[in-house]
């Protein structure tokens, strides 16, 4: 099944690739690797979900925010490579959670992203990753994720 058909079969769709919020680019291809900049949870209108986990954004909402980040990243990836069918595998993911000091469920939050990538790409979407807590993130977003992807 085509990757975009798989995304649609999950009841999801890609938005327009989000524009960087500063002097950087969203993706760069180097050989067979694509490096994706950190992305946050923005909707089709480029409005960001905001709040610290879990005091302002529940753990479940943050999990869903990580899924939203995944779709944004795939939109950027498609913009960079033209066809998501060119993805061979995810190589490394860094997930950051805007967390209260006592919050310990960062891996669960970033599972929102990881679960989505496995749902879309199968075992090629499963990869090494880090899930860490941060004292703050840009624009007070609850989740930021970056990734490295290998192309076929």
Report how far apart, in Å, the C-alpha atoms of 43 and of each of 13, 87, 90 are. Answer: 11, 24, 23
Mean pLDDT across 81-92: 97
Residues 111-144 pLDDT 10s: 999 999 999 999 999 999 999 999 999 999 999 9
| Percentage of residues of the chain with pLDDT beyond 70 | 100
Please state which architecture CATH assigns to domain 3-12+24-151: 2-Layer Sandwich (3.30)
Distance CA 78, CA 85 (A): 9
Residue spans of the domains in the chain: they are 3-12+24-151
Residues 6-37 pLDDT 10s: 999 999 999 899 888 889 999 999 999 999 99
């Amino acid at each position: 099944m085509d990757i975009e058909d798989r995304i649609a079969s999950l009841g999801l769709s890609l938005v327009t690739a989000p524009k960087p919020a500063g002097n950087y680019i969203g993706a760069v291809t180097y050989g067979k690797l694509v490096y994706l900049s950190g992305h946050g949870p923005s909707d089709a209108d480029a409005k960001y979900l905001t709040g610290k986990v879990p005091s302002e954004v529940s753990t479940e909402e943050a999990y869903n925010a990580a899924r939203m980040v995944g779709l944004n990243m795939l939109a950027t990836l498609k913009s960079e490579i033209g066809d998501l069918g060119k993805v061979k595998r995810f190589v490394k993911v860094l997930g950051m959670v805007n967390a209260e000091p006592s919050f310990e469920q960062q891996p669960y939050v970033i599972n929102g992203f990881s679960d989505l990538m496995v749902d879309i790409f199968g075992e090629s979407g499963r990869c090494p990753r880090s899930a860490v807590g941060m004292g703050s993130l840009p624009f007070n977003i609850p989740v930021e994720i970056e990734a490295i992807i290998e192309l076929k």
